[in-house]
Structure 1
Amino acid sequence: MKMAFSPCPNDTFVFHAWVHGLIEDAPNLEVTYADIDKTNYWAADLEGPEVMKISFAALPYVIDDYALIPCGGALGRGCGPLVLTSGKTKGIQDLSGKTVAVPSDKSTAYMLFRLWAAQEISGTVGEIIVMPFDEIMPAVKEGKVDAGLVIHEARFTYQDYGLAMIVDLGDWWEEDTGLPIPLGAIIARRSLNMKDELTDWVQKSVQYAWEHPDASMGYVMEHAQEMSSDVAKSHIDLYVNEFTGELGEDGFAAIESLLGRAAKEGLIPAFDMKKLRE
């Protein structure tokens, strides 16, 4: 079976057991490591592997062709994207008309940014520039863009670049809704007709990771893009949680709230919410 997910520590930690043939009866995996911006577009174009990690923000565009696997993804609290500047742009009003670098224009991070900006900024943000997430902080530091929307381990390292945080969009979302943030979703082509089996294999891989937390560290660090082991472990602790094991009602409520708000604002197409659970 072909699968695509990012080389980030949370994904390699979660899928280590399955990738290495440690899940009984699960098919062998052929893995493509890809940034979520790539998988978002692969899913929209019906390209790429049958099973992928994408942004929840991209899910409405592909929900007719892909089923949401109710585990293995990334939701949580205290793990939201950050909006950063070099410190020269002070105050949220200064983003009106400014250039902002984002990791994907179909990411949950960008969706949260748009919802926040509509509520908090007078006027409109200027040019949005999509670039790989590991290039955003250097671009902000060097003045190539006025601000950057960052994700993942940038939460722990942005101060090393001398950057200042305007807003933690996770804190904003949680204070506004009381719900966790839906970030990354595991999806599978509906034509496989294997949602139950895939759910079982993913949950067993998650459970193995929790029961053997050190077993995956070699694999995790092999793909960790030069981050330290301490940062990698912090990344895992932040993004792998109860919602990774099972979305549950709180997880589905968070997804429905986020996508419902975005559809109301015209940020995504309207879609049948029932398909999230089908």
Structure 2
Amino acid sequence: MELRLGISTCPNDTFIFMPIIHNFVDTSPFTFRVVLDDVEKLNGFAVKGILDVVKVSYGVVPKVKNKYNILKSGGALGYNCGPVVVSSGIFTVDELKGGKIAIPGENTTAFMIFKYFFGEDFDFIPMRFDKIITAVEEGKADAGILIHEGRFVYSNHGLNLLADLGELWEKKQSAPIPLGAILLTDKLKKEAKLLNNIIKSSIKFSRNNFEIVKPFVYRYTQQLDDDVIKKHIELFVNEYSLDVTPV
């Protein structure tokens, strides 16, 4: 049975799913036709219901709950790994009121959490996540909300931290920040247990064989620094990636 699989190009997704995509683990009775894209694009695909298994932001889950179920494995939750708000020359979110903020998409968890804490009295500019640092550097936005590798490298670009949305969430909710979920189309919900086990096997393979997985991860990442990639994977691929149910 061929399934349409959509994942993002961020290192945690490529790390988790590379063994599945390249047949290093047994995926029978499934084969996968893969789409790799920006997470906001994947959110849109989920809203349209055009993929069988898809990585999405938790922010979009309420919009697709009639089409999909959350798989236990493969998602991104955790501590100290949330989105960050950065700027150049502005040092508090209060100074930003009415200003332009580059966001990685209106359906992203990052955007939902920003609005939860700071409201909507801003001029939000949606763009691909990997364009945000440049937009802030060039003055096209007064600030930006960074996801994925951005949280590790913004200081290298002379940007300063205005808010760590993950830290705010953890203090408010006393829970890990829910960033990304792997969804399974409702039509195949009976296959959830098998797919969870396949994803777990894939994660275990990647952890034990990083040198095999590494070229695939590096092909898609926006950062090639070994330390950044390792930090990213260590933070985002954790016990909740194996099984989200302990939350």
**CA 1:176–1:140 in 2, change beyond 3 Å: closer, same or farther?**
same
Instruction: List gaps (5 residues or longer) in structure 2.
Output: none
Task: Provide the C-alpha distance between the structure 1 equivalents of 2:227 and 2:4, rounded to a whole number of angstroms.
Answer: 30
* Percent of matched pairs sharing the same residue: 35
Please say if residues 99 and 127 of structure 1, whose CA atoms lie closer than 8 Å, have aligned partners that are also in contact.
yes
Match of 1:18 in 2: 20
Given residue 124 of structure 2, which amino acid in structure 1 is its aligned partner? I
Whether 1:164 aligns to 2:192 is no
- Partner Cα distance (1:230, 1:249) in 2: 29
8 Å contact from structure 1 (residues 99, 125) kept in 2: no
1:46-125 matched pairs, under 5 angstroms? 46-47=49-50, 49-87=51-89, 89-118=90-119, 124-125=120-121
Residues 140-173 of structure 1, C-alpha deviation per residue, up to 9 Å, x if partnerless? Answer: 1111111110111111110121111101111111
* Counterpart check, 1:205 vs 2:202: yes
Root-mean-square deviation (CA), in Å? 1.4
Q: CA offset at residue 8 of structure 1?
A: 1.3
1:192 Cα deviation from its structure 2 partner: 1.9
Q: In 1, Cα distance between the equivalents of 2:221 and 2:161? A: 24
State the match for 1:32 in structure 2.
35
Matching residue's letter, 1:185: A
The count of residues paired between Structure 1 and Structure 2 equals 243
User: TM-score, normalising length from structure 1?
Assistant: 0.84
Distance 1:42 1:13 in 2: 22
Q: Post-superposition shift, 1:228?
A: 2.2
Where do 5+ consecutive residues of structure 1 fail to align?
Answer: 119-123, 251-278
Measured after TM superposition, the shift of residue 34 of structure 1 is 0.8
> Aligned runs of 1:183-262 on 2, under 5 Å?
183-193=179-189, 194-250=191-247
Of 131, 138, 143, the residue aligned with 1:142 is 138
Distance 1:134 1:25, change over 3 A: closer
SS in 2 for 1:97: coil
Shift of 1:95: 1.8
The CA deviation at 1:222 is 1.7
